[in-house]
Amino acid sequence: MVYKYLFGPVLSRRLGISLGLDLVPHKVCSLNCIYCEVGKTTLLTAERKEYVPVKHVIPELRDYLSQKPKLDYITFSGAGEPTLNSGIGEIISFLKTEFSEYKIALLTNGILFSSRRIRNEIIDVDLILPSLDAASEIVFQKINRPVEGVNVNDVIKGLVDLRKEFSGEIWLEIFLVPDINDTKQELTLLKSAVTRINPDKVQLNSLDRPGTEPWIESINREKIVQIAEFFKPLPVEIITQPKQKNKAENFNQNITEQILETIRRRPCTADDLEAILALNTIDLNRYLNILLEKGKIETIKQERGYFFRTT
Ligand code: SF4
- Shared domain for 180 and 286, answered yes or no, is no
Q: How far, in Å, from the CA of 150 to the mean position of ligand 1?
A: 15
Residue 213 lies in a domain: yes
Alpha carbon nearest to ligand 1 atom 6, residue:
36
Last-in-domain residue among 200, 225, 247: 247
Q: Which residues form the domain of 273?
A: 252-311
- Shared domain for 277 and 141, answered yes or no, is no
Residue 1 lies in a domain: no
- Report the CATH number that the domain containing residue 298 is assigned in CATH: 1.10.10.10
**The pLDDT value given to residue 210:** 65
- Shared domain for 128 and 145, answered yes or no, is yes
- Looking at the structure of the chain, the number of domains it has is 2
Beta carbons of 66 and 36 less than 8 angstroms apart: no
pTM: 0.81
**The pLDDT value given to residue 212:** 74
Last-in-domain residue among 214, 247, 280: 247
- Shared domain for 147 and 292, answered yes or no, is no
- Shared domain for 170 and 71, answered yes or no, is yes
Cβ burial, residue 88 (10 Å; 0-12/13-18/19+): buried
Residue 264 lies in a domain: yes
pLDDT digit string (tens) for the chain, length 311 residues? 888 899 888 777 788 889 999 999 989 999 999 999 888 999 999 999 999 999 999 999 999 999 999 899 999 987 899 999 999 999 999 999 999 999 999 999 999 999 999 999 999 999 999 999 999 999 999 999 999 999 999 999 999 999 999 999 999 999 999 999 999 999 999 999 999 999 999 999 998 766 678 888 888 889 999 999 999 999 999 985 443 444 444 444 578 888 888 888 888 888 888 888 877 666 777 788 788 878 888 877 777 777 888 88
Strand pairing report for 104-108 and 127-130: parallel
Residue 69 lies in a domain: yes
Q: How far, in Å, from the CA of 9 to the mean position of ligand 1?
A: 21
- Shared domain for 59 and 208, answered yes or no, is yes
Last-in-domain residue among 247, 273, 295: 247
Q: 15-24: string of b/e by CB count within 10 Å (b at 16+)?
A: bbbbbbbbbb
Q: Is 149 left (phi over 0), alpha (psi -120 to 50) or beta?
A: left
H-state helical runs in the chain = 54-65, 88-98, 116-121, 137-144, 152-165, 184-197, 221-231, 255-265, 270-277, 281-293
Our mutation pick for probing the ligand 1 site, out of 77, 109, 180, counting the most ligand atoms within 8 A of Cβ, is: 109
